[in-house]
Amino acid sequence: MSFVTIFYGISFYVATLILFIGLGYRIYEYSIIPSPLKIPTPPAPKTKSGVAIRLFREVVFFESLFSATKWTWLFGWLFHFALLLAALRHLRYFTDPVWFWVSWEIVQAAGHYAGYMMVFGLIGLLARRIFVDRVRYISNPSDYLMLILIIAIAVTGLLMKWFHTDIYAVKMFFIGLMYFQWSELPSDFILLLHLSLVLLLMIIFPYSKLLHAPGLFFSPTRNQTDNARDQRHISDWAKKLESKK
């Protein structure tokens, strides 16, 4: 085992633990904090299935953002959709045998071109941050760095088109990590850079604004039903006030 293999192997275990435990813990925290009052924003659905449709539209189409600002919507949606396509393409490195639909040409090609789309969307978002005075005012260094980090991940990923690595060996490395039968990771610079940046992203996820991903599902203005008059909605801590008299 080379040092590189051992270092990255351990790092991926640690980062995966931080990502899943950290994110799981956040979701647990969100789920146990009550929403003592009904605060859905219009158009507020009256039923749970209505809420499901509303959240689906928010997650898939970014509906609220669309009504707010078309440029941010365009760049943001392109980036997120491209991220999904790229992730699907990457499934081939983590499934053995590769799931049949992952190996379809369309999934693989879309995942590849999505890389360019991702960079385009992210540069658009970065440009907004730099050139729109209002967005510049609210931006902290971490907001720029987050965009730069994901741009760098996408660019290093795309660069492997030209700076080839033994992709089969990379796959065997990850399958090995998953089944605890380690195999060597090629030590090509671009690959290692790509993987290092991904590790960083995994580690900061539960501690950063990337929490907007679970956050949306727990956002009371979006996930509550509009039925306050029909059904009494009361939290445990508020109930205690009633027995106090």
Partner 1 sequence: MAVKEFEKPILKEYTPIPKLVEEATSHLAPFKSKEEFQKSLGYPGELVENWEEVALDKMGDLLKKYRSLRVYMDSCIQCGACTDKCHYYLGTKDPNNMPVGRQNLMRGVYRKHFTLPGKFFPKLVGAVDLTKEVLDDWYSYYHQCSQCRRCAVFCPIGIDTAEISMAAREIMDSVGVGQKYCNEIIGKANKIGNNLGLPKPALADTLEGLEEDVEEETGIDVKFPLDVKGADVLLITPSADFFAEPHVDGLIGYAKVFHEAGISWTLSSYASEAANFGMFIGSYDNMRKLALRIREAALELGVKRIVFGECGHAWRVAYSFLNTLAGPFDFLDPRYPVPQHICEVTHDLINKNILKFDKSANDGKVITFHDSCNVARASGMGDVMGGQFSLPRDIIKATTNNFYDMDDDTIMEKTFCCGGGGGLLTDDLIELRMKGAQPRMEALKRVVEDHGVTHMAAICAICKSQFSKAFQYYGFELDQIISLHQLVGDALIMTKK
- In whole angstroms, how close is the CB of 132 to partner 1 at the nearest point? 7
What single letter denotes the amino acid at residue 125?
L
- In whole angstroms, how close is the CB of 178 to partner 1 at the nearest point? 28
Closer CB to partner 1, residue 176 or residue 220? 220
Contact between 123 and partner 1 by CB under 8 A: the answer reads no
For partner 1, the binding residue among 45, 115, 124, 186 (CB under 8 A) is: 45
Task: Please state the length of the chain.
Answer: 245
**Which residues inside 75-94 make contact with partner 1, applying CB under 8 A?**
76
For partner 1, the binding residue among 4, 19, 23, 65 (CB under 8 A) is: 65
Contact between 8 and partner 1 by CB under 8 A: the answer reads no
Contact between 228 and partner 1 by CB under 8 A: the answer reads yes
Contact between 219 and partner 1 by CB under 8 A: the answer reads yes
Using the contact rule CB under 8 A, the part of the chain among 12-20, 139-147, 159-167, 195-203 near partner 1 is 139-147
For partner 1, the binding residue among 16, 95, 139, 183 (CB under 8 A) is: 139
DSSP 94-147: T-SSPPTTTTSHHHHHHHHHHHHHHHHHHHHHHHHHHHSHHHHHH--HHHHHHH
Encoded tokens for 240: 């205690």
Contact between 30 and partner 1 by CB under 8 A: the answer reads yes
Contact between 176 and partner 1 by CB under 8 A: the answer reads no
Contact between 3 and partner 1 by CB under 8 A: the answer reads no
How far is the C-alpha of 9 from the C-alpha of 25, rounded, in Å?
24
Q: Which of the 8 DSSP states describes residue 63?
A: H
Cα 59 off chain centre by: 12
How far is the C-alpha of 158 from the C-alpha of 190, rounded, in Å?
10
Contact between 200 and partner 1 by CB under 8 A: the answer reads no
How far is the C-alpha of 101 from the C-alpha of 108, rounded, in Å?
10
Provide the phi-psi class of 184: left if phi over 0, else alpha when psi is between -120 and 50, else beta: beta
- In whole angstroms, how close is the CB of 61 to partner 1 at the nearest point? 10
What per-residue string of b and e applies to 60-88 under the rule 16 or more CB within 10 Å gives b?
eebeeeeeeeeebbbbbbbbebbbebbeb
Q: Contact, 163 vs 188, CB < 8 A?
A: yes
How far is the C-alpha of 210 from the C-alpha of 43, rounded, in Å?
26
Count of residues interacting with partner 1 (CB under 8 A)? 65
For partner 1, the binding residue among 3, 42, 97, 181 (CB under 8 A) is: 42
What single letter denotes the amino acid at residue 146?
M
Q: Where along the sequence are the contacts to partner 1 (CB under 8 A)?
A: 26, 29-30, 33-39, 41-46, 58, 62, 64-65, 67-69, 72, 76, 125, 128-129, 132-135, 137-143, 145, 204, 207-209, 211-212, 215-216, 218-222, 226, 228-235, 237-238, 241
